[in-house]
Chains A and B, each alone.
Chain A
C-alpha cells in the first residue's frame, strides 16, 4: 500500500526560480527510500514539501499525498494534524535541531504531550522510555541537561527520540549523520535501522553519501538540480548506473572505499 505518493512536485521561489522540477516517487508503508544528491539538488526541499513546511515565499505545485491526505494547498490546520502523526523529521545539524535554552527532557516531552496527550508522571516515564530507546546512557542526567551539555551524537539521538515520540508512519531522516564523526555515524545508522525496523516505519533517508544510503535503504532516487536523474534499487544503482551523474557518484564512493581498504586491511 502506498503511504506517500508524490506526483509532479515542483517547488518555486517567490521569484519563480524552479528548485524542484516535476519530481515523482512513492514510498509504500514500511518501505525505505534513499534520496541522493549533492547540496542544492533539492532533496531537503522535497522532504519539507512533503510536510508542507516550505520556507515562506516558496510554493509547491503538483501532488503530495501523505497517508491519504493531500499536502499541496492544504490549510495549516489540516497540516498540523498530519505532521508528526504521519511523518516526522530528523534534521542534519544536531546543533540547531534542539532549542539551546530548553532542557532535553522538556523538548522530548513536547511531542509526547501534543501527540499522545500524556501528562504528569506518565509523561515523565514516557520521556525516560524514549531516551532509553535511543540508547542514551544516564537518561536521568541527559533529560535534565541543556543541549550544549551533551555531545553531538547524543543530541542527534535526542532529535531522533523527538521524531519517534510522534510515532509517525514515515520517518524522514535529512542527512542525520553528516555532522557526526565516522564512528558515531555508524552507531547512529544502526540505531536508526533497528528502531525503524521494530516499528515497521517507512523511511526517506536523505544523503549525499551513496555508501550511507546503501547501508540503510533498499531503493534510491538520485537527484540533481531539482530533477530525478535515476531511480532503482541501491544494488542496481551501484552495479550498473545508467545516468552520468550516478556513475560519478558510484566512482567517487568506490575511490573512497579503496582508500579506506588500503588503510585498514580486513
Chain B
C-alpha cells in the first residue's frame, strides 16, 4: 500500500536541505486549492445547507436548475445538499483515519525500530499480517461488532492504515538511528526519549507527512467504498459513496446524481495527492537543489 515513490522521497539524512526556503511549488498550490474548495464546502455545510437533509419537496429526479442547483435524487432530496454533507463526511473520514493512523502508526513504528530479537520479529510479522488483511473485511468485522456508523468506518480505515504508517516509520527510524549525530547525542549524554523527540521525529517527519497526505486520499476513497456497500455513515447523512450507489439505477436518466459525488470525490483525492506531491518537492533536498 506504500507507493514506491514515497520511500524514494525519503530525505537522505544529512543532505543539505535546500527546500526550506525554496519557492512554493505549483503542484502544492493547485492541490491546496482543489482540496481547499472541498474543505470549504464541508465547513459551510456545518452551518448552512440549502435544504434539510430529509426535505423531499423538490419532486423525484428533477434535473438541475430551478430551486435545485444539481437537481434531486429518486426520493426528491436536493443533490447539492447531499453533496455538501458528503464532503463533510469525506473530510471527516480522511482526517479521522489519518489521525488514528498517525498516532498508532508512529508510536508502533518507533517501538518496532527499537525492538530487538524476537519482539522485533513478532511486531514486524504482526504489521505484515495487518497490511495483508483486507480493509474491507476489517471494516465488516468492526461494523458487526459495533454498528454501521462513520466512526466504525473511520476506525477500520485508520487501523488498517496505521500498519502501513508503522512499517514506514520503523524503516525511517531505523535509518536515522544509524546516523552519526545520534551516536554523538548519546555521547553527549542525551537520554533516549530526548533523542527520539529532538532528533529522530523531526528527521523522519518530512517523509511521514508526505505519506500521511497520501493516506488521507486513500482514506477518502476507502470511506466512499465502504459507504457504497452500506458500511459507512447511515442515512440521512449522505456520503458520496452511498450517493453513487443510490444513483446507480437511474444513471442513464438522471446522471447528475452519480456525476456530482463522483466528480467531487475525484477533485478531493487528486487535490490531496497533489498536495502530497508538492510537499515532497518542497521537502526533498534533491529537487530543492535543482530549483535553487
**Chain A residues within 8 Å of B, Cβ to Cβ:** 48, 51, 53, 55-56, 80-81, 83-84, 87-89, 91, 93, 95-102, 107, 110-111, 114-115, 146-148, 159, 162-163, 165-166
Given A89-B184, A148-B18, A162-B184: A100 touches B189 (CB 8 Å cut-off): no
Given A101-B203, A159-B184: A95 touches B189 (CB 8 Å cut-off): no
CA distance A89 to B16 in the complex (A): 23
**Chain B residues within 8 Å of A, Cβ to Cβ:** 13-18, 20, 116, 178-181, 183-190, 198-199, 202-203, 285
Q: Which residues of B contact A98 (CB under 8 A)?
A: 14, 181, 184
Shortest beta-carbon distance from B106 to chain A in Å: 17
> Contact between A96 and B16 (Cβ–Cβ < 8 Å)?
no
> Contact between A99 and B199 (Cβ–Cβ < 8 Å)?
yes
CA distance A93 to B181 in the complex (A): 10
- In the complex, the number of residue pairs spanning A and B with C-beta atoms less than 8 Å apart equals 86
CA distance A163 to B198 in the complex (A): 19
Given A55-B178, A96-B181, A101-B203: A83 touches B14 (CB 8 Å cut-off): no
Chain A minimum-CB-distance residue to B202: A101
> Contact between B183 and A95 (Cβ–Cβ < 8 Å)?
no
Given A83-B189, A114-B188: A93 touches B198 (CB 8 Å cut-off): no
Q: Which residues of A contact B116 (CB under 8 A)?
A: 56
> Contact between B189 and A115 (Cβ–Cβ < 8 Å)?
yes
**Interchain residue pairs with CB less than 8 A apart (24):** A48-B183, A51-B187, A55-B178, A56-B116, A83-B186, A83-B187, A83-B189, A84-B187, A89-B187, A91-B180, A95-B15, A96-B13, A97-B180, A99-B181, A99-B185, A101-B203, A102-B202, A110-B185, A110-B188, A110-B190, A114-B188, A114-B190, A146-B20, A166-B189
Q: Which residues of A contact B198 (CB under 8 A)?
A: 102
> Contact between B17 and A96 (Cβ–Cβ < 8 Å)?
no
The B interface, classified by DSSP as helix, strand, loop or mixed, is helix
Q: Per a CB cutoff under 8 Å, which of A80, A100, A162 touches B17?
A: A100
Shortest beta-carbon distance from B284 to chain A in Å: 13
Shortest beta-carbon distance from A135 to chain B in Å: 20
Shortest beta-carbon distance from A66 to chain B in Å: 13
Q: Per a CB cutoff under 8 Å, which of B16, B183, B188 touches A53?
A: B183
Given A56-B116, A84-B189, A110-B188: A148 touches B16 (CB 8 Å cut-off): yes
CA distance A96 to B183 in the complex (A): 10
Q: Per a CB cutoff under 8 Å, which of A97, A100, A111 touches B203?
A: A100
Q: Per a CB cutoff under 8 Å, which of A55, A80, A96, A163 touches B14?
A: A96
Shortest beta-carbon distance from A42 to chain B in Å: 17
Q: Which residues of B contact A93 (CB under 8 A)?
A: 14, 180
Q: Which residues of B contact A81 (CB under 8 A)?
A: 189
Shortest beta-carbon distance from B168 to chain A in Å: 18
CA distance A83 to B182 in the complex (A): 13
> Contact between A89 and B183 (Cβ–Cβ < 8 Å)?
yes
> Contact between B17 and A146 (Cβ–Cβ < 8 Å)?
yes
Q: Which residues of B contact A99 (CB under 8 A)?
A: 181, 185, 199, 202-203
CA distance A99 to B204 in the complex (A): 12
Shortest beta-carbon distance from A134 to chain B in Å: 15
CA distance A101 to B14 in the complex (A): 8
A89-B184, A100-B203 given. 15 additional CB < 8 A pairs? A53-B187, A83-B186, A83-B187, A83-B189, A91-B180, A96-B179, A98-B14, A102-B198, A102-B202, A110-B185, A110-B188, A115-B188, A148-B17, A163-B184, A166-B189
CA distance A166 to B190 in the complex (A): 12
CA distance A87 to B188 in the complex (A): 10
Q: Which residues of B contact A163 (CB under 8 A)?
A: 184, 187
Q: Which residues of B contact A165 (CB under 8 A)?
A: 188
Q: Per a CB cutoff under 8 Å, which of B18, B178, B189, B199 touches A102?
A: B199
Q: Which residues of A contact B188 (CB under 8 A)?
A: 84, 110-111, 114-115, 162, 165-166
Chain A minimum-CB-distance residue to B188: A111
Q: Which residues of A contact B18 (CB under 8 A)?
A: 148
Q: Which residues of B contact A146 (CB under 8 A)?
A: 17, 20
> Contact between A111 and B181 (Cβ–Cβ < 8 Å)?
no
